[in-house]
Structure 1
Amino acid sequence: MGLTSGMFLVCVVLCTALAFASTVWLWPRLARRGWGAVLGRVGLLALVQVLFFSSVALTANRSFLLYDSWADLAGTKRQEVAAPGGAAVRVLGRQTPDVPGGGSPRTAGVVEKITVHGERSRAAADAYVYLPPEYFHKGNEQRRFPAAVVLTGYPGMAENLLKKLRYPRSAWTLAREKKMQPMILVMMRPAISGANTQCIDVPGGPQSEAFFGADVTKAIAGTYRVGGSPRGWGIIGDSTGGYCALKMALQHPETYAAGVGLSADYKPETDGQSGDLFQGNKDEEKRSDLLWHLDNRPQGPTSFLVTTSLQGEPNYKATQQFIKKVKDPAHVSSITLDHGGHNFNTWNREIPPALEWLGGRLGAEQGVAR
């Protein structure tokens, strides 16, 4: 059974209840002296605790959508490899967005689950693409829409962006209220393998920067009616995904016109989940520190939005440093909450104004429909 399977969770919960009942039933028989009785009591208590905490962990994983498989949990999930000469995008399925009155694509839009195959990175990763209702309206057949790559934190499943952070619903509502132009969203994880590669090209390993810095936008623009110039593309993410969004917008102005970091980190974390990202390459390690990059490398005509909180966010000081270091021709805006935290509640407060800001910096294009 899969890690996120409801049946597997039910089985573990039932086993926990059975183990607890067995412990209560057998305890009087094991209440005597002797190594056998002692080991029996210890074994039963250990079994109940292991099953109980497994039930809690599985429930939390289903609730917060952190890991999608056992390999993902163990950090051994293999990177998918793009087949040479294959299609850049493969559609796996369709669903209706969670919006009021959903049903018809012309009313609610569509969410397509796809696999993106990267030409430069030779990697493949799953994503969800939100196509707004206007994409299907008569008269828009030649219109190319602005688009944004949307990234989760790590760990995290792309479904988080649909079910917990509700990006399509926010985009649909803002467009309906005329606060934001209709925009396509490409929602995915910031990792293309089991490791937390943090949008870095690992020597001899996953080429995450190439994937998010070039491959994703090219593949999507070749499949959907999306602009191919930087003016038509933004990128947004939270936590590790926020770091990736700022890194891509900062280091790839030829791809993205704007980047949004919600509770973002400003340099990569090297730990057991990431492995050795740089393989001794100190230049690349410094380049991946966004504050160092702002001080030491040219800045392009990119717009940034960063968010933090006066209380509850560990990135407040680093965010203020980032803001001070951004220079022309780049621009920076910020959202600072009085109270917040590194969680979905905070990001759900920030996502609508962040999308409105992002939509105001991207432009739709007219062109020949694909």
Structure 2
Amino acid sequence: MGLTSDAVLASAAGCGLLLFAGTVWGWPRLAGPGPWPLAGRVALLLATQAVVFAAVGLAANRAFGFYAGWADLFGRETGQGVVVDHSAGGPGALRVTGTQAVRPGPGRPEDGGRIERVTLTGRTTGLASPAYVYLPPEYFQERHRTRAFPVAVVLTGYPGTAEALVDRLHYPRTALELAREGRTGPMVLVMLRPTVAPPRDTECVDVPGGPAAESFFAVDLPEAVRAHYRVSRTPGGWGVVGNSTGGYCALKLALHHPEVYSAGAGLSAYYDAPSDPTTGDLFHGDRKLRARADLWWCLDNLPPRPGSSLLVTSSKSGESGYKDTLAFVERVKEKKTARISSIILESGGHNFHTWRREIPATLRWLGERLGEERG
């Protein structure tokens, strides 16, 4: 049973209830003096607390998407690591591994769209990553068969799970509902985590001698998606959005690669790459690379991107980056780097509940800025 499955959570909760009931029932029988009754009481208390703690941890993991499975939790994940393409210059690939309907909603793709589980393998970087691709109903309708749809690349935080973008943050369902209500146009969503060389947090950096994470998102992913799906081939039709680490990556990709992404939205983003045990040494003494990873440096030193749009979000109470976000908005306006917008909530923590409140407005913002092509 998987770490995020209902069965595992229900089993842990059930064991906790049984141990609690057993403690209430057995406590009077273990109330006597002596080492054995004392040991029994201690064992019951420790067992109950351990199981309750595990159940709470499992519930929190399901809610926030910290770890995708047992191997991810214990640092033994190897299945989706770096893939080396030994045929230099060989083509990248997008392979569909499964499909599912958008829930709740009609089962037919022509009515409710479809979500495809895919594996992306980069042509230039050799990196591979699982992803989910949401295709709107219009993609399958005959009258739209020559239409090339705009694309939003959606990134999780770190470590994050791609499934959480579907099941917890409800990106496909929200995009479908907004399009039905006429508040935005249909778009394709490519949903994945920025951790393309797990368990390492690469912060979407091309690490010297290591995984070229930025190039994967700037070159390989758009190339593979365009080759497989009927989507826009111009930067005006591509945007990128993410939360936390994914938000930092989204803003950086839009600033570094306006020829690929014309819009970037950072939900609860930060503005410089951290250095900690999860990242390792990202720059290997390369000062230029280190500077480019600092978004403040980018605003001061990169040329203006007049055709680009940026969106940042935060909350007055609950987000530690609130003041940085206000300063980032002012710096973009001062430097005239790009068009800048913001969503500022009165309160909201660094969590899924807050981001779900920001996603509808963010998707509408993207829809207003991403064009489409018609054949």
Establish whether TM, by shorter chain, passes 0.5: yes
**1:312 is matched with which residue?**
318
How many residues are matched?
365
**1:47 is matched with which residue?**
47
Shift of 1:198: 1.8
**1:336 is matched with which residue?**
344
**1:3 is matched with which residue?**
3
**1:108 is matched with which residue?**
112
- How far apart, CA to CA, are the structure 2 residues paired with 1:115 and 1:343? 27
| 3-state SS in 1 of match to 2:315 | strand
Q: Deviations over 1:18-52 (max 9, x none)?
A: 55566553774584345x66555544433332222
Name the amino acid aligned to 1:46.
L
- How far apart, CA to CA, are the structure 2 residues paired with 1:186 and 1:336? 26
Using structure 1 for the length normalisation, give the TM-score: 0.89
**2:270 is matched with which residue?**
265
Using structure 2 for the length normalisation, give the TM-score: 0.88
**122 and 87 in structure 1: CA distance in 2 versus 1, 3 angstrom threshold:** closer
| 3-state SS in 2 of match to 1:139 | helix
**21 and 149 in structure 1: CA distance in 2 versus 1, 3 angstrom threshold:** same
**2:364 is matched with which residue?**
356
Shift of 1:328: 3.6
- How far apart, CA to CA, are the structure 1 residues paired with 2:171 and 2:14? 35
- How far apart, CA to CA, are the structure 1 residues paired with 2:255 and 2:285? 23
- Say if 1:150 and 1:186, in contact at 8 Å, map to a contact too: yes
- How far apart, CA to CA, are the structure 1 residues paired with 2:75 and 2:135? 32
- How far apart, CA to CA, are the structure 1 residues paired with 2:65 and 2:349? 18
Percent identity over the alignment is 50
**2:33 is matched with which residue?**
32
- Say if 1:82 and 1:119, in contact at 8 Å, map to a contact too: no
**1:58 is matched with which residue?**
58
- How far apart, CA to CA, are the structure 1 residues paired with 2:343 and 2:2? 39
**17 and 278 in structure 1: CA distance in 2 versus 1, 3 angstrom threshold:** same
- Say if 2:67 and 2:159, in contact at 8 Å, map to a contact too: yes
The Cα RMSD (Å) is 2.4
**63 and 269 in structure 1: CA distance in 2 versus 1, 3 angstrom threshold:** same
- Structure 1 window deviating more from structure 2 (277-286 vs 344-353): it is 277-286
**Of 148, 160, 167, which aligns to 2:152?**
148
Write out aligned runs for 1:1-370 (5 A).
1-17=1-17, 19-20=19-20, 25=26, 28-29=29-30, 31-34=32-35, 41-78=41-78, 79-82=80-83, 84=85, 85=90, 88-100=93-105, 102-192=106-196, 193-301=198-306, 302-326=308-332, 327-328=335-336, 330-367=338-375
Shift of 1:281: 3.3
5+ long unaligned stretches in structure 2: none
- Say if 1:76 and 1:195, in contact at 8 Å, map to a contact too: no
Q: Deviations over 1:317-360 (max 9, x none)?
A: 11122112223462211222233332223222221221111111
- Say if 1:291 and 1:321, in contact at 8 Å, map to a contact too: no
Shift of 1:87: 5.8
